[in-house]
Amino acid sequence: MEYAFLVQTRDLPHRLPGESGDRQGEFIAETLMELCAPLENSLDSLDNGGWRVLSHDVMQANGTLIVSFLICRDRRP
């Protein structure tokens, strides 16, 4: 197998004082949906295709949402 990482970032909206974390959770869910559809389509053309998403991770740092995808494919001869 061959493995690679793809990383996408998005700025998180600023939370207003007293605002619940629900809006931020909704933003994260919407962002994941927004990133996944184009990602699946682009994997077919990335480095001669054959890639699929094996796993992902979501992290927040300094007001930024960081989403990393571990992708894999069968080793090419």
Burial readout 11-23 (b: 16 or more C-beta within 10 A, e: otherwise): ebeeeeeeeeeee
Residue with tokens 């061959």: 2
Question: What is the pLDDT, as a whole number, of residue 21?
Answer: 66
Task: Specify the pTM.
Answer: 0.76
Average pLDDT, the chain: 84
pLDDT winner (highest mean) among 9-18, 35-44, 56-65: 56-65
Confidence of residue 18 (pLDDT cuts 50, 70, 90): low
Measure the CA dihedral 73/76/2/9, to 10°: -60
Instruction: Report phi then psi at 31, rounded to 5.
Output: -65, -40
Domain that holds residue 25: 2-13+21-73
Give the residue-averaged pLDDT of 17-38: 76
Number of structural domains (the chain) is: 1
